[in-house]
Amino acid sequence: MRKKTKKRKTPAEIKVGDLLLKNRKLFLYDEVEPENIEKLVKGLFALDLLNHKPIYLYINSPGGEVADGFSLINTIKLIKSPVYTIITGEACSMAGLISIVGKRRYMIENTFWMAHDLSGGIHGDYSGKVEYRAKYLGKLWKVIENHLTMHTKLSIKEIELARNGELWLNSQECLSKGVVDKII
């Protein structure tokens, strides 16, 4: 009796997402918000359970929610697998903060990175609580400032520019300021 061999799937039979996940590639190609970050966090934990080989996180995002972004950053720091970040379009705002936490940080030549101040997030019947929200935002900015200082070579002047306006850096500037390790 002849032994059955496992039939290889044709390219049409392979799902793109499965193929990318099998090769440990995840993507942040939307806003940093709960639904998107939950999928990435679950993907990171799942891949980390399989083995501790590098995970590649490709980024092209305008940014988004700070709490969700730090949830992803904290997960990257928590798992044993090294996470390599690759900016393929833009990494703005919270996505920029996520990009700098990679064990290895890459950027495509014609891409941009941006940092700026926090949004106040005050909605509805909140006028009496503005003072408390302002104190919270001050504390949160200190966390962001420490994160930028720890993971980049940005000067205090550049960090202040980010807080009071927008700090836009191209790939060469990112390389020289320690935002990325290599341009690819």
- pLDDT tens, N- to C-terminus, the chain (184 residues): 555 566 676 665 678 888 899 999 999 999 999 999 999 999 999 999 999 999 999 999 999 999 999 999 999 999 999 999 999 999 999 999 999 999 999 999 999 999 999 876 666 666 777 888 888 899 999 999 999 999 999 999 999 999 999 999 999 999 999 999 999 9
The CATH class of 12-119+126-183 is: alpha beta
Tell me the domain boundaries of the chain: 12-119+126-183
Q: Where are the beta strands (DSSP E) in the chain?
A: 25-28, 55-61, 83-92, 104-107, 112-116, 166-170, 182-183
Q: Which of 61, 81, 93, 171 is catalytic?
A: 93
3-state secondary structure of 10: coil
pLDDT at residue 18, rounded to an integer? 87
8 three-class SS? coil
pTM to 2 decimals? 0.89
Digit-coded pLDDT (tens) for 92-120: 999 999 999 999 999 999 999 999 998 76
Active site residue 116: yes
Residues forming beta bridges with residue 125, ordered by sequence position: none
Residue 40 to residue 141: CA distance in whole angstroms: 24
Catalytic residue among 116, 123, 147, 155: 116
Residue 116 CB neighbours (<10 A): 17
Give me the phi and psi of 151, to 5 degrees please. -110, 0
